[in-house]
Each structure stands twice: as C-alpha cells, then as structure tokens.
Structure 1
C-alpha cells in the first residue's frame, strides 16, 4: 500500500517535494480540500484557466466547488514544479480515446509526465508517473448502493461480496471499485471500459493486475478507499483489445 504525500501550499505558492518516481512506481499526493479549499479559492484566478474556473463555478454544492479548486490548483502546482514552469503555464490537453479516437482520452501534458486526478467530496488524490497512470479515491458507500450496483463487478468479485457478512460488503466493494476505476482511467477508457472484465478482487490486497499493469491500494482517511494503476514501462498504448473478457 502506498502512503501519499500531503499537499500543503502557502499563499504564495508550493514549496514541497517535487513529483519524482522510480520505473513502475507512481508519485502520489493527497489533497485535503476541507483544509486547503479556501486557500485554493484565493489562488485559483491566477492559476487555473477559463475552462477550469468555469467548471468550478458550475458546481452547485460549495464542498464540491472547493474540492475541485483545491485539486486542480494542486495539480497545476505539482506539474509546474516538475516541469519547471509557472502553474498557470502548464499545458494541459486530452489524448485521443483508445476506443473511438475522440478527444476525450486520458488527460496529459507535455514533458514526459503522466498524471491522474480523482476526487470525492472533501479529498483528492493525484498520481504522477513516467508511464500512463490512473488513480481513484472514493468514499465508502452505503449498503444499499452496493446492492444496487455490485452486479457491475467481475463475477468472481460478486461471489466474494456475496460470501461476506452484509456489514463488510461496502468496504470490500469500494476496494474493488477503486482498483477497477484506477486501471480504467490509466488505460484511457474510463468507466466506459466496463467493470466486469478484470478480476482485481475485493479483499485487503489486490489480485495481480491486468497484463502490463500494476495495481496498488493507497492509504487514505478512514471511510474511504483509493488505488493507483501504473502501466509497465515499454508496454504499447492501450487499445480496445486490452479489455480482457
């Protein structure tokens, strides 16, 4: 299990560690939006672009707006620190979708840095690596949510959930969900890639990831689960054939 850095900027910028990694291992940051949200609100006009500011402004719930601002300010500050440019100057774009070729694949930037951002109300997880990477953080759902959408998982994971006492199923479900979503975000397919194709497990430790990927859990506050998936160096970009049946 990875232990992420805690993101803590000042009102004049970020002075903490710069994202760095070994081959096959991501660099991770946790953002506490409840603590950093107001500072991010002050910094955002000088850091985020018009699209990001517009997206934040469209969020109705204040907690969601602050989490968006805190996570995107953190992303630009950390990328800027790695690339040696001002946060506002970080060039962000979308790669082609590996399924249809449309401009809605993995988020990307120039300079050989791959990254992924995930947030749930109150906290965000950022991952950086030298190869494609996906991250996901989620709050543990209520039991009725597990009952409603648990059948989207791999058949083996559905059996694992069914064998558990009901009060243990939400934590087991969210472990599997974050592992799946981290992997799918790393490939560029996202949830459209389907949650039933790969068995990553509901237990305390992930099953071996799909060929060419390493999936690892991430330490996050109680009541949440998180995971990160990193593509093995040298593997070709994902295609539709990577979706194992």
Structure 2
C-alpha cells in the first residue's frame, strides 16, 4: 500500500517540495479538495487556463467546482515546482489516443514529466513519473451499484466478487475498479478500453497487467485508490519512504 504525500495549500500559494521519484516509479499526492478549496478558488483565476476555467463554470454543484478547481490548481503548482516555472506557465496537452488516434489520449506536458489526475467528491490523487502513469480514486460504492456493474468486469474478477459475503463486495469492487481505471488511464484509453480487459484482481494484492506495475494507494475512509506505472521495475515506493 503506497502512502501518498499530502498536498497542503496556504492562502498565499504552494511553497512545498517538487515531486521526486526514482526511475520507473511514481510520486503520488493526495489532495483534500474541501480543505484547500478556499485557497484554490483564490489562486485559480491567475493559474488555470481558459479551458479549465470554462470547465469549472459548467459544473452545476459548488462541491464539484471546488473539487475540480483544487485538483487542477494542485496539479499546476506541483508541475510548475518540478519544472521550475510558474504554475500558469505549465502547458497541458493531450497525446493521441492509441485506439483511435483521436486527441483524447494521456494528458501530457512539456519537460519530460508524465502525470495523471483523478478526483471524486472531496478527494483527488495526482501521480507523476518519468514513464506513463495512471491514477484513480473512487468512493466505495453502494451494494446495489456493485450488483449492477460486477458482470462487466473480467470473468475472474466477477467470480471473485460473487464468492465474497455481501458486506465485503463494495470494498473489493472499489479496489478492482480503481486498479483497472488507473491501468487504462495509463494506457491512454480510459474506460473505453473495457472493464473486462485484464485480470487485476479484487483481493488485497493487485495482479500486474503485462508491462505495468499496479499498487494500491492509501485513501481516506470510504474511498479506494490505485496507481499504475508502465515499468518492469519496482512498484512505487518499494524499498524507500515515499514521503522523501
């Protein structure tokens, strides 16, 4: 289980360390988007670009606007710290989709840093690496949601869930969902790749897809998280303290 860095944001802007990682691993950061919302709202007009600000305006609920704003402000501050530029100078683009060659593949930026971002209500995870990386965080779903979606998973995963007692299925489902989405985001295809692709497992330890390392990420109670790194080497944080 990877213990992420905790992102803090004072009112006058980020003054913390830049993301660092050994080759082939990831640096993962957790953002309490509710806690940093006020500071993020204040910084957003001079940090976020026009497309990000427009996306904020389209969100119907204040909590969703705050979550998106905090996550993207944190992303730009951390990327800027890594690249040695102001957060407003970070250029965010999209790679070509490996499935259809459309302009909606992995998010990318200048400077040789691969990154991934995921947010759900009140929590965001950000991952940075020198190789393609994907991250995901989700709320643990209600039992009825698990019953509706479980059949879409890999047959082995659906069978694993069916063998669990009812009360254990939501947590196990959240594990497999975040692992799968982190991997598919790392591939650059997202859930369009299909939930039945690859067997990553529902148990305490993920199964690595070919050419990838999957690691569960510690998340607040009621949430699950995972990170996927395209590498044949170590898992994130293996043999070291990921906070350093």
Q: TM class, shorter-chain normalised?
A: over 0.9
Q: Kindly indicate whether residue 23 of structure 2 is the aligned counterpart of residue 55 of structure 1.
A: no
Q: Kindly indicate whether residue 234 of structure 2 is the aligned counterpart of residue 232 of structure 1.
A: no
Runs of 4+ with >4 A deviation:
none
Q: Cα RMSD (Å) of the superposition? A: 1.0
The alignment covers a number of residue pairs equal to: 233
User: In structure 2, what is the equivalent of residue 37 of structure 1?
Assistant: 37
Could you tell me whether the CA contact under 8 Å between 2:212 and 2:232 is conserved in 1?
Answer: no
User: For each residue in 1:129-154, what CA deviation from the matched residue of structure 2 results, as whole angstroms up to 9, or x when unmatched?
Assistant: 00000000000000000001111111
User: In structure 2, what is the equivalent of residue 239 of structure 1?
Assistant: none
User: For each residue in 1:82-127, what CA deviation from the matched residue of structure 2 results, as whole angstroms up to 9, or x when unmatched?
Assistant: 0000000001100000011111101000111000000010000000
Matches within 5 A, 1:199-210: 199-207=199-207, 209-210=208-209
3-state SS, counterpart of residue 85 of structure 1: coil
User: In structure 2, what is the equivalent of residue 103 of structure 1?
Assistant: 103
User: For each residue in 1:160-198, what CA deviation from the matched residue of structure 2 results, as whole angstroms up to 9, or x when unmatched?
Assistant: 000000011000001000000000000001000111121
User: In structure 2, what is the equivalent of residue 114 of structure 1?
Assistant: 114
User: In structure 2, what is the equivalent of residue 72 of structure 1?
Assistant: 72
- What runs of 5+ residues in structure 2 fail to find an aligned partner? 234-244
- In structure 1, distance between residues paired with 2:9 and 2:94: 26
- In structure 1, distance between residues paired with 2:125 and 2:197: 25
Question: What's the TM-score, normalizing by structure 1?
Answer: 0.93
- In structure 1, distance between residues paired with 2:160 and 2:232: 32
User: In structure 2, what is the equivalent of residue 240 of structure 1?
Assistant: none
Question: What's the TM-score, normalizing by structure 2?
Answer: 0.94
User: In structure 1, what is the equivalent of residue 239 of structure 2?
Assistant: none
- In structure 2, distance between residues paired with 1:212 and 1:164: 29
Deviation of 1:24 (Å)? 2.0
Could you tell me whether the CA contact under 8 Å between 1:131 and 1:233 is conserved in 2?
Answer: no
User: In structure 2, what is the equivalent of residue 87 of structure 1?
Assistant: 87
- In structure 2, distance between residues paired with 1:80 and 1:33: 19
Q: Which moved more, 1:128-137 or 1:190-199?
A: 190-199
User: In structure 2, what is the equivalent of residue 222 of structure 1?
Assistant: 221
Could you tell me whether the CA contact under 8 Å between 1:143 and 1:170 is conserved in 2?
Answer: yes
Deviation of 1:217 (Å)? 0.2
Could you tell me whether the CA contact under 8 Å between 1:186 and 1:231 is conserved in 2?
Answer: yes
Could you tell me whether the CA contact under 8 Å between 1:219 and 1:226 is conserved in 2?
Answer: yes
Deviation of 1:12 (Å)? 2.1
- What runs of 5+ residues in structure 1 fail to find an aligned partner? 235-245
Q: Kindly indicate whether residue 217 of structure 2 is the aligned counterpart of residue 186 of structure 1.
A: no
- In structure 2, distance between residues paired with 1:233 and 1:44: 38
